[in-house]
Chains A and B, each alone.
Chain A
């Protein structure tokens, strides 16, 4: 799949933002007044900034409000609803907490759940795709949620929760790769099933429909070289592991925390770029691009 920058920026930043908001609405860290305001402002900047970024890949963004209509069937529509509901609920909790020093605990729990539900709905957009076997696995949901909650914990200075969640995210990331590498073969889709000609024998593309490119090839048959893949996987693992080590060995000061967040974000960006670039869509079978 084509790794579109707007979608990568959206899912990484929004994931981190909603993760932070999920901790803040639980009353963690235990701060108030302008410090709490700053925490919420960072959470909102990340979550809303990501959402705005996601509209840049639309062909006709002026009609984006229509995306709220199909929540019964579409995970993208559910994501639109959940993101607005969680931002509004979080906003009410934050206003009372910051300006009136009043903590509506049940409202905070609901807001926290809604933030995580938003990240889950984002992950379902990918995990529901039967056409991309690498994505259609529970580790896709788990990875999005753990990176969100773990990154949020890192920003919210929840040291213990952060390293446990980030370690779990790293483990799920490695499982996601090892399962993903064989997912296409296990899915059972081949050039033979795609053409229905398997009863005769082995099928290969003889001539493409056209000599140039097309939307399908640009969007869904993007391929990454093996050499780059291994390097990026190494970068991902190192950048995901480093903050965990930092969190365990020393209590973080502000500067060390900033370094940990930047390194963590680098790792998540590399992971998310690979998430798209490595994903193989079955339509490639019609173009002689079996993985």
Chain B
């Protein structure tokens, strides 16, 4: 049923720390690997060795440049991983005509039942975040499953029972946990660091939260040692350089 549950028992999701993501794309690769080899239709690539390669990904890293309002402050680069935010008020679920798209009451994960997906693409239209991609080979909608086949999988060692992207992140920028529990480490991080929602104006109430980059060091009291030495020596040269300058002007 594609009506949303009135509330979910748990709210599993991710915290993504924009302060320490280094933009290495390891999570992209591990996500593609795990989700191609496991649950559902593989994430296909089209024309992989041709002129216009294209493929299905459930997690993609954008990089943004932010220019602070104070003009003298330098711009900063922010690496920005983006995958399904498992919204509480998920518009992708309610538009689905077949019931393939659903949000689980027990843990809040938004999933697609691929055997009832007709591939109409309406859920991808309804998602503001570009979290859903139609697989060009299978003709069904693919999306982040929060690695539902890892997190409850007792055949895996306990430390591997978290989403592939979280497990693989070398800089520890991604964290997995239950947001319904205010004591969980993800809830604590959101409180401590001022975690925020993406496009809150659309009323989707995302479960996943992003932590803002920490303020940059200001370096205001550091004496400028090299600066004076690098200043221009002479604007009106004399001697040989002066002669050269005047001669070149005349030509």
Contacts and interface: CB of A to CB of B under 8 A. Distances in A.
B98 A70 contact: yes
Contacts of B61: 209
- The number of chain A residues touching the other chain, given as a range, is 35 or more
23 contacts: A59-B120, A59-B139, A60-B117, A60-B119, A60-B139, A68-B97, A69-B99, A72-B3, A73-B94, A75-B95, A76-B120, A76-B122, A130-B203, A193-B201, A200-B212, A206-B77, A207-B62, A207-B63, A209-B62, A214-B60, A215-B124, A216-B133, A287-B62
Contacts of A67: 97-98, 118, 120
B213 interface: yes
B57 A73 contact: no
Nearest to B196: A196
B173 interface: no
Interface stretch (A146-154, A227-235, A278-286): A278-286
B127 interface: yes
Interface in A53-93: 57-61, 63-64, 66-70, 72-77, 80
B232 interface: no
Contacts of A208: 62
Q: For B65, B82, B117, B126, which residue has the most chain A Cβ atoms within 10 angstroms?
A: B65
Given A59-B138, A70-B98, A210-B60, A196 B67 contact: no
B126 A129 contact: yes
B14 interface: no
B162 interface: no
Contacts of B67: 201-202, 204
A230 to B, nearest CB: 26
B236 interface: no
Contacts of A202: 66-67, 69
Contact of A282 (B124, B133, B199): B199
B107 interface: no
A203 interface: yes
A131 interface: yes
Contacts of A191: 64
Nearest to B213: A200
Contact of B65 (A193, A206, A213): A206
Given A57-B121, A215-B124, A205 B97 contact: no
Interface of A: 1, 57-61, 63-64, 66-70, 72-77, 80, 125, 128-132, 187-189, 191, 193-197, 199-210, 212-216, 219-220, 281-283, 286-287
Please list the 4 inter-chain residue pairs (A to B) with the smallest Cβ-Cβ separation, ordered nearest first.
Answer: A59-B119, A59-B139, A209-B60, A66-B98
B136 interface: yes
A163 B64 CA distance: 52
Nearest to A211: B53
Interface of B: 1-3, 18, 23, 28, 52-57, 60-69, 73, 76-78, 80, 82, 91, 93-100, 116-122, 124-130, 133-136, 138-141, 196-203, 210, 212-213
Given A59-B140, A200-B68, A213-B52, A128 B95 contact: yes
Q: For A61, A66, A213, A282, which residue has the most chain B Cβ atoms within 10 angstroms?
A: A66
Nearest to B59: A209
B91 A131 contact: yes
A64 B118 contact: yes
Contacts of B212: 196-197, 199-200
Nearest to B63: A207
B134 A74 contact: no
Nearest to A2: B121
A68 B116 CA distance: 12
A105 B159 CA distance: 70
Contacts of B69: 201-202
A200 B127 CA distance: 26
Given A57-B120, A59-B117, A202-B67, A130 B202 contact: yes
B25 to A, nearest CB: 8
Given A73-B94, A187-B201, 5 more contacts: A1-B125, A76-B95, A194-B128, A197-B18, A197-B213
A132 B96 CA distance: 17
A123 to B, nearest CB: 14
A63 B60 CA distance: 30
Contacts of B78: 195, 197
Contacts of B77: 206
Contacts of A75: 95
B126 A131 contact: yes
Contacts of B99: 66, 69-70
A282 B129 CA distance: 8
Contacts of A220: 124-125, 130
